[in-house]
Chain A
Amino acid sequence: MPTNHALEFPGGYTRSVGPVIGRFLSELRDGKLVGVRAESGRVVFPPLEYDPANGHSVTDEFVEVGPGGVVESFAWVAEPLASHPLDRPFAWALIRPDGADTAILHALDVGELARGAEAPKRLRIGMRVRPDFLPATERIGDIADIRAFRPDVTMITAPSRLEYDIKPGRALDRFLEGVSEGRILGHRCPVCAKVIVPMKGLCPKDGVPTTEEVEVSHTGTVTTFAVNNLPDPRAPEVPFVSAYVLLDGSDIAMVALVSGIPADQVRMGMRVRAVWKPREEWGRTITNIRWFEPIDEPDVPFESIAEYM
């Protein structure tokens, strides 16, 4: 039977830090990064008492470096240990601040990520970073006075929202009036006799005004379609299907969502019916029709919809 055994020196070890490391830690408490100059002119950071290149004592010249720096190597910790400084995925990184000739090892926080997450693409050697210091009153002169380094700001997300009050025009206004009553209206062209849904007040083919109103069916035929795999606020789920639906009695296909069938089973020539939202949710908008769903009728042969592609 194992017995638990903890090894701990109560209060931790008390160590003298000496004038070189002491200077670094004191400056760190003030929110500054300093390196020490070696005889060769190289700036050793974080400072050591000797130049690691040749073992000679360093000079007593301290040089402020950074705070910005560059990642020289990194390791991605997807599942942090209890001993680690962050409890979400982060990188250990070797970071050389501007003006320094050697690197510091520290944590690099690239933002909120779920445990187990892979490293973000932008994390790479050469990435620019800078330290995220604890607030001045919490700094004690310890390497952890830097909570972590964080990537430099290289991108922002600018607000993109504008609002408009749209006037639909007389023809579309009339169409929306129909939709708000559960009817689908079109115009018949006096020249070609085709029924245009939604009506535009003109025939785009003949270029003549249209006024003769025709109410068309809520059933129709899918003439062509696309499977969308990116989420869209209008779509019920991903993947969703947007299709051209040629309503019975009309001669122009309307763009609509198709649902109630797996995306990979939607086909050209498939018969569908409009599914309306509950009446209490209706407004003056085409979205009163939630989507189209298949009906139990044989597919329409391709030749009869070929001209509506």
Chain B
Amino acid sequence: MKDIAIVAFTQSRHSAEENGLSETEMLLPLITGVKEQVGVSRFDFTCSGSNDYLLGAPFSFVSALDAVGAWPPISESHVEMDGAWALYEAWVKMQYADIETALVYGFGKPSQGSLREILARGYDPYYLAPLGIDAVSMAALQARAYLARSGAKEGDLTAIAARSRAAGRDNPFALSLDDPAADAPYDVAPLRVHDVAPEADGAAVVVLATGDKVAEISARTGLTPAWIRGIDHRADPHSPGVRDLSVSPSARLAGQKAGAAGVEVAELHVQYSHEELILREALDLGDDVVVNPSGGPLAANPMMAAGLIRIGEAAARIHRGENRRTLGHATSGPCLQQNLVAVLEA
């Protein structure tokens, strides 16, 4: 296994409203900035994560490549998923190919359509999609199953939303959201409006390096490299009716394979409050583990970037010398169906 490190991370100031920028315009300053930061203008490999349905245009990710500068031709790939899976592809590519640097990014602008209906297009076309069920309703089914099994109360969910929003107010990239209102209405019960991550437009960029490039770039940036000590992703069956929604076996397995034990901080891709409780249990995170000090997606949920941002935030804490062992998590699919865990060390 090659030692691979995250040597740079940057993200946009996420917006809950359409800000008039195209995806490419949103990405350009981030990629330009990270190139200057690391002192590399041509990467050995480039991989991105996004979803064409957010824009409603096939191959919309191709135009975003304009922000990278793809001439002369570059080695490039794309995943139709959150940028966290683009990072995984880049990590795999670096393991077997003779390359030392990789540029990874994820981006999305849900403000242009109906996100909860767009996400439903990913459901199976025989049994789920024809029903017209939306993503929040799907999550609410899981929340009910978890509350019934664990004995947790709706107030426990509100506490997670409150803590996340308070942390987000200290994060210049997240949204500034008020504390949950005491009489906040349900979105889809048992999830109240603050239990659903606020949709945001945004993007994130990560630079991976290996070999001599790690020391070279770190010397230039002055940041401690965040070594990827373990990374793994797993999937549960797609259909919500064939699995116990109150637990996440795929997150548990990914956590074990990636070596989640002993982390100080975990950045979890929590798009609904109850998911934090299921993930804490699955990843066996004790009370001493700080979860989502950035506020997490409950404070800003830029689609297709929010998972990559979790890994980026976990890395940034090591870059700044604040922690020595952190965890970044990303999820995809209905009801925490797929989970990716990366364990990072100074």
Q: How large is the interface on A (under 10, 10 to 19, 20 to 34, 35 or more residues)?
A: 35 or more
Cα-based distance from A94 to B133 in the complex (angstroms): 12
**Number of chain B interface residues as a range:** 35 or more
Query: Besides A73-B144, A96-B241, 18 other CB < 8 A contacts?
Result: A15-B126, A46-B126, A48-B239, A52-B242, A72-B241, A73-B145, A73-B148, A75-B137, A75-B141, A76-B186, A76-B189, A84-B134, A92-B138, A92-B141, A105-B131, A105-B240, A125-B144, A142-B130
Q: In whole angstroms, what is the CA distance A52 to B241 when docked?
A: 10
Q: Do B120 and A83 touch across chains, with their CB atoms under 8 A apart?
A: yes
* Cβ-neighbour of A17 out of B53, B126, B139 (below 8 A): B126
A85-B140 contact given A73-B245, A102-B239, CB 8 Å threshold: no
Tell whether, in the assembled complex, residue B56 and residue A5 are in contact, meaning their CB atoms are under 8 Å apart: yes
Number of interchain pairs (Cβ within 8 Å): 112
Within 8 A of A (CB), among B163-189: 185-186, 188-189
Query: Chain A interface (Cβ within 8 Å of chain B)?
Result: 2, 5-7, 13, 15, 17, 21, 25, 44-46, 48, 52, 72-78, 81, 83-85, 92-94, 96, 102-107, 118-119, 125, 142-144
Q: Identify the closest chain B residue to A15 (Cβ).
A: B125
Q: Do residues B117 and A81 form an inter-chain contact, with CB atoms below 8 A?
A: yes
Question: Distance (Å) between the CB of A1 and the closest chain B CB?
Answer: 9
Q: Is B189's CB under 8 angstroms from A119's CB?
A: yes
Neighbour of B137 across the interface among A2, A72, A92, A144, CB < 8 A: A92
**In the complex the two chains form, is B144's CB within 8 Å of A81's CB?**
no
Return chain B residues, CB-CB under 8 Å to A77.
Answer: 137, 188
Query: Contacts A81-B117, A103-B241 hold; do A143 and B145 have CB atoms under 8 A apart?
Result: no
In contact, B145 and A72 (Cβ under 8 angstroms): yes
The verdict on A81 contacting B134 (CB below 8 Å), with A44-B242, A125-B148 known, is yes
* A85 and B189 contact, Cβ closer than 8 Å, known pairs A5-B56, A92-B140: no
Q: A74 and B141: CB pair below 8 A?
A: yes
Q: Contact between B241 and A104 (Cβ–Cβ < 8 Å)?
A: yes
Q: Which of A2, A77, A93, A107 has the most CB of B within 10 A?
A: A77
A46 & B127 in contact (Cβ 8 Å cutoff): yes
Chain A hits for B134, CB < 8 A = 81, 83-84
Most buried by A among B130, B138, B242: B242
